[in-house]
């Protein structure tokens, strides 16, 4: 689960519909992809890059405006050595406004995909430190907390 507070401080809201700022559905899909991608990564021990492969479905019945709070709830449906599927619900201020179902690919160093680095560029050391702070802020050493 992840939470997103929609505010007028976000530049994309000023340009989407001038005079009527709304959160674009494409960014709500992106929020779900990030949430579900972390869930998939955790299921695989963060050993591989998790890459969005396909949006199976994305349906929205309402929009979000500044002042609204979005909550992304992702569920892992299937996971194997090559891919994972997730289903997700987007809630606005506690009420369901959409669903987003996704497919992810896992790409590890042994995959040697053309053009991709051979290291984990999704779940970097910096990301893993940040993730640890959300789980247990006291788990970091002083140098990690200072970003050293």
Active site residues: 16
Place of tokens 């606005």: 92
Which pair of structure tokens corresponds to residue 104?
A: 């992810």
DSSP state for residue 44 in the 8-state scheme: T
Q: Name the helix (H) or strand (E) containing 52.
A: strand 49-60
Q: Is 2 exposed, middle or buried (0-12, 13-18, 19+ CB in 10 A)?
A: middle
Count CB neighbours of 13 within 10 A. 20
Give the span between the Cα atoms of 137 and 39, in whole angstroms. 20
3-class SS at 25? helix
């Amino acid at each position: 689960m992840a939470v997103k507070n929609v505010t007028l401080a976000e530049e994309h809201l000023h340009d989407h519909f001038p005079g009527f700022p709304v959160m674009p559905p494409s960014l709500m899909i992106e929020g779900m992809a990030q949430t579900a991608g972390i869930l998939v990564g955790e299921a695989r021990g963060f050993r591989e890059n998790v890459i969005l492969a396909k949006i199976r479905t994305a349906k929205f019945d309402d929009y979000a405006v500044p002042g609204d709070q979005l909550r992304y709830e992702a569920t892992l449906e299937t996971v194997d050595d090559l891919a994972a599927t997730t289903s997700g619900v987007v809630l606005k201020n506690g009420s369901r406004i959409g669903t987003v179902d996704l497919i992810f690919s896992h790409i590890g160093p042994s995959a040697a995909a053309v053009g991709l680095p051979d290291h984990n560029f999704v779940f970097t050391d910096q990301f893993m430190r940040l993730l640890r702070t959300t789980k247990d802020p006291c788990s970091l050493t002083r140098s990690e907390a200072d970003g050293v």
